[in-house]
Amino acid sequence: MEHYRIPELVCPAGGLPALKAAVDNGADAVYFGCKNETNARNFAGLNFTRETMSEGIAYAHARGRRALMAINTFPVPGRENDWREAIDSASGLGVDAVLLADIGLLDYAHEHYPELSLHLSVQGSATSHEAINFIHREFGIKRVVLPRVLTLAQVAQIIRNTPVEVEVFGFGSLCVMNEGRCWLSSYATGESPNTAGACSPAKFVKWEKSPGWMSTRLNGILIDRYTDDERAGYPALCKGRFEVNGETYYALEEPVSLNVLEILPDIVKTGVSAIKVEGRQRSPAYVALVTRILRAALDALGRDIAGFRIDPAWRADLARISEGAQITLGAYNRPWR
């Protein structure tokens, strides 16, 4: 029987209840951020104060789990100290690793806290082993989170050519093209995950109900229009429907969720170090369900990868909470590549 290293399961925590839900349902590690612009999920009502972060880290550590802090936006000019202070705080709180995207912040953390484990965030947008090895050589990163634009063969090729641990996304919302470089949200609202820490911030969102229709707008821009029998998705510009050459369709990205359950054995065989769940903006119930299912799937792989079978209940439950109630393998499944 072939044996493979089972990757770490890394799950999201938009608040203390979600952190506890992830830990209690089998996450090996949880990731979270502050209640400010230093993290890329800076939505109102979410994230951690220093006090709740300290409590969450203690909760995870007491159960043998790891706590990872995301400081993965790019500093606003003139306010760089806000981001440096977040790194100072992370070191003082005893997190197991910090996720960074900005090279200046990587340099600061590497110089001031050489004992602090550094991960290159997906916002760093590193898609080649050359880029990853450069960051490793200059700043000593231990792990990289790969953007969701690579095929499985490309992921495997990176793993063969870098000493850095590789983490990939396994479930949750997709992001198009160069993650960490969102010009679309910036164009529409003046704010984006790069700086303000939120894609399509809620204060710019407007829902317009009319007979037979629901229209969604982002800062006045019509993103989509749904009939009464369609599910209305959150109005992110990249996931809107547009008229192109007389045809209306999702020109950039469909509002569906990544779900790698059916190719999980193939992902494990590449040698990835961790599988990540997206969703710090989602509820503790979402976190609990996804964590529980992926934990069960990974444990089953650990027992017998050749005999791995998907429990139909796993598939049904994940489809129920997927964005748009639809799932995709995303870039992992591009036969033409």
How confident is the prediction along the chain (337 residues), in pLDDT tens digits per residue?
567 899 999 999 999 999 999 999 999 999 999 999 999 888 888 999 999 999 999 999 999 999 999 999 999 899 999 999 999 999 999 999 999 999 999 999 999 999 999 999 998 999 999 999 999 999 999 999 999 888 999 999 999 999 999 999 999 987 765 565 677 888 889 887 777 777 788 899 999 999 999 999 999 999 999 999 887 778 888 888 888 888 888 877 777 788 999 999 999 999 999 999 999 989 999 999 999 999 999 999 999 999 999 999 999 999 888 876 667 777 777 654 4
What's the rounded Cα separation, in Å, for the pair 120 and 153?
A: 21
| Same domain membership, residue 90 and residue 16 | yes
Confidence at residue 336, expressed as pLDDT on a 0 to 100 scale: 47
| Same domain membership, residue 262 and residue 136 | yes
CATH number assigned to the domain comprising residue 276: 3.20.20.70
Q: Which residues of 166-201 are buried (b: 16+ CB within 10 A; e: fewer)?
A: bbbbbbbbbbbeebbbbebbbebbebbbbbbbbbbb
Residue 2, domain member (yes or no): no
Residue 1, domain member (yes or no): no
Residue 3, domain member (yes or no): no
Host domain of residue 108: 8-174+256-332
| Same domain membership, residue 49 and residue 34 | yes
Count of domains for the chain: 2
Residue that terminates a domain, selected from 249, 266, 299: 249
Residue 294, domain member (yes or no): yes
Helix (H, G, I), strand (E, B) or coil at 170: strand
| Same domain membership, residue 139 and residue 35 | yes
| Same domain membership, residue 228 and residue 89 | no
Of 237, 139, 147, nearest to 190 (Cα)?
Answer: 237
Which phi and psi angles does 257 have, rounded to 5°? -100, 140
Give the contacts of 197 (CB within 8 A, at least 6 positions apart).
33, 36, 37, 38, 39, 40, 41, 42, 73
| Same domain membership, residue 187 and residue 268 | no
| Same domain membership, residue 240 and residue 118 | no
| Same domain membership, residue 152 and residue 187 | no
Residue that terminates a domain, selected from 223, 249, 275: 249
| Same domain membership, residue 299 and residue 260 | yes
What's the rounded Cα separation, in Å, for the pair 168 and 309?
A: 21
Confidence at residue 48, expressed as pLDDT on a 0 to 100 scale: 97
| Same domain membership, residue 190 and residue 275 | no
| Same domain membership, residue 158 and residue 38 | yes
pTM of the model: 0.88
- Which ranges in the chain belong to alpha helices (H)? 16-24, 50-62, 80-93, 103-112, 129-139, 152-160, 183-189, 264-270, 284-303, 312-321
Q: How far apart are the first and last CA of the chain?
A: 31
Confidence at residue 332, expressed as pLDDT on a 0 to 100 scale: 79
Residue 25, domain member (yes or no): yes
| Same domain membership, residue 284 and residue 159 | yes
